[in-house]
Amino acid sequence: MRKKVSGCKRFLGVVLFVSLVVLQFSTICAYADVSSVIPPAVSADWAINGICFPSADEGWAVGFDNINKTGVSLHYANGTWTNVTLPAVSSQHWSLYAVSFPSAAEGWAVGKDTTNEKGLLFHYTGGAWTNITLPDVRGGGKWSLNSVSFPSTTEGWAVGVHPFPGGAGGVLLHYTNGTWSNVWPPMGVASFWNLNGISFSSSTEGWAVGEDFTNDPDNDKGVLLHYVYGDWTNIAPPVVSASPGAYWSLNSVSFPSTNEGWAVGEDDTNYLTSKTGVLLHFTNGTWTNATLPSVSPVWWLNGVNFPSAAEGWAVGAKGDSVDKNANLQGVLLHYSNGVWNNVTLPHVSSNWDLTRGGVSFPSPTEGWAAGYDIANKRGVLLHISSTNNCAASLSNDFKVHVPIGVYSGQSYSADFKWDGGDSVILTNLTPLNDTSPFSNCAPSTVSSALLLHIPVIMYNGISYWADVQCNTDESPFKIVRVGQN
């Protein structure tokens, strides 16, 4: 007598195959589709320092024209990059380092007026850039701006450095109620220090990072400042290198929420022979060192961007020596499913890198990275998509194409169609002999209680997650939790 199979267990045969084989490859993977985009003509020698995309359809990049000694502004719209003329600056030498657009209609760019030795700030609104007069910084003197963050159109921050006789300190500028003001940083950070990056997940809380370069073995380390409830506090960083004479710094920070964030930089402790990237993770109220992927004996990180807590990207460079200007190649790291992976990049030239503000992802699945092609003396633009090879595509009529699935040790691609009831129909199954493009795809998980967690489900260009549970022997899986990544 054949044993009766319950509705849930009958459905398990379909759902586990579809979920573990089909939906496991809906997870965004470390294998990314990266293409090098030829930038518009600017001059015979120019670079991109920062990039920001408020949406997938529109973005901005800023940098420096080394021929004309002026800033550079590039605009991406309707699938095309164009060079946008900036307003005149009363300086013979100036550049832009970073850009932030809280909306497609309004944004800010910061940099340095080298001639007059002060910071620069531009405001984009009404379809045009305007040069903004800034307040005096810490009694005047030399200063510059390195980074900017606007969590909304009405409030934002810019950070930089202010050298002075016998020392140097970080610069903090605050924009609120339509006005920029100078904010004094917390006391006791160091004798010589700066701020390189800033990230505000809300108007009430944010982080700034930089470098303590006092040239003291006990002090040469990254700087972490925390802003909450109107006050900045100096936070002691974790130990990155326990070697005598440790020397490391932080270049960029990204907080997708107030509870979790990342900071990146470089460890130059053994600078005569090697250099490594720095990855710090903030979670549960504490900063810790993250496990580094294998990259190169000489490499470092310049920028980081997390569009969500589950998905992020970091950029930098690697080389065959500790010389930062020789035989460099860009570095792109991808964080997904709790792991950092090194992403293979297309050939750009014999010598190029990705810069400090050079990564922006308006969504977990699509973004841009930017930098400087040293060999060809022009900006670098990389377009990145993380769904082309690994993600299962769910169409509006509920057809699912699975690029790869594994069953009984054999890899397949497959197509499924929802029958309108409680089942899906396998319409095509093809064995795969070459699975190398999918080697880093991460699976969904099923607990012993038959709870299936699906980290990423792509539908109409939006990334979702879901938990489904088999609650009784007579019912199929039930969706118990769902959300947008």
- DSSP notation for 40-79: PP--SSEEEEEEEEEETTEEEEEEEETTTTEEEEEEEETT
Q: Report how far residue 423's alpha carbon sits from residue 421's, in angstroms, rounded to the nearest whole number.
A: 6
pLDDT for 255: 97
Whole-Å CA distances, 210 to 95, 115, 171, 350: 20, 24, 11, 30
Q: Enter the tokens of residue 190.
A: 């160091």
Beta pairing class for 478-484 and 451-459: unpaired
Do residues 82 and 383 make contact, with C-beta atoms less than 8 angstroms apart? no
Handedness of CA 460, 461, 467, 468 (dihedral sign): positive
Q: Report how far residue 95's alpha carbon sits from residue 115's, in angstroms, rounded to the nearest whole number.
A: 11
Q: Enter the tokens of residue 214.
A: 């006092």
Provide φ and ψ at 83, rounded to 5°: -85, 120
pLDDT for 33: 82
- Which residue, among 95, 182, 98, has the nearest Cα to 147 in the 3D structure? 98
Per-residue pLDDT of the chain (485 residues; tens, 9 = 90+): 333 333 333 333 433 333 333 333 333 333 468 999 999 999 999 999 999 999 999 999 999 999 999 999 999 999 999 999 999 998 899 999 999 999 999 999 999 999 999 999 999 999 999 999 988 887 667 999 999 999 999 999 999 999 888 889 999 999 999 999 999 999 999 999 999 999 999 999 999 999 998 876 556 899 999 999 899 999 999 999 767 667 899 999 999 999 999 999 999 887 767 789 999 999 999 999 998 998 999 999 999 999 999 889 999 999 987 676 678 999 999 998 788 989 989 999 999 999 999 999 998 889 999 999 999 999 999 999 865 445 555 565 666 566 666 555 666 666 656 555 544 456 676 787 776 555 555 444 445 565 555 555 555 555 566 565 555 544 444 556 667 65
Q: Report how far residue 177's alpha carbon sits from residue 447's, in angstroms, rounded to the nearest whole number.
A: 51
Contacts of residue 5, Cβ cutoff 8 Å, sequence gap at least 6 = none
What H or E segment, with its residue span, contains residue 15? helix 7-16
Q: Enter the tokens of residue 66.
A: 């080394």
Would you tell me how many other CB atoms lie within 10 Å of the CB of residue 116? 15
Whole-Å CA distances, 420 to 401, 414, 453: 17, 19, 23
Q: Which CATH superfamily is domain 33-385 in?
A: YVTN repeat-like/Quinoprotein amine dehydrogenase (2.130.10.10)
Do residues 314 and 339 make contact, with C-beta atoms less than 8 angstroms apart? no
Sheet holding 339-342, edge to edge: 299-308, 311-318, 329-336, 339-342
Contacts of residue 166, Cβ cutoff 8 Å, sequence gap at least 6 = 191
Q: Enter the tokens of residue 82.
A: 């164009």
- Which residue, among 320, 236, 249, has the nearest Cα to 278 in the 3D structure? 249
pLDDT for 19: 37
pTM beyond cutoff 0.75: yes
Contacts of residue 465, Cβ cutoff 8 Å, sequence gap at least 6 = 310, 453, 454, 455, 456, 457, 482, 483, 484, 485
- Which residue, among 422, 364, 427, 439, has the nearest Cα to 401 in the 3D structure? 427
The residues facing 207 across adjacent strands are 199, 226
274 SS3 class:
coil
pLDDT for 384: 93
pLDDT for 206: 98
pLDDT for 23: 36
Do residues 135 and 180 make contact, with C-beta atoms less than 8 angstroms apart? yes
The residues facing 359 across adjacent strands are 369
Range 170-201 burial, b when 16+ CB lie within 10 A, else e: bbbbebeeeebebeebeeebbebbbbbbbbbb
At position 373, the amino acid (one-letter code) is D
Handedness of CA 264, 330, 382, 51 (dihedral sign): positive
Do residues 24 and 444 make contact, with C-beta atoms less than 8 angstroms apart? yes
Q: Report how far residue 147's alpha carbon sits from residue 370's, in angstroms, rounded to the nearest whole number.
A: 15
**Comma-separated ranges of CATH 2.130.10.10 domains in the chain:** 33-385
pLDDT for 451: 58
Contacts of residue 312, Cβ cutoff 8 Å, sequence gap at least 6 = 254, 256, 262, 304, 305, 306, 334, 335, 361
What H or E segment, with its residue span, contains residue 13? helix 7-16
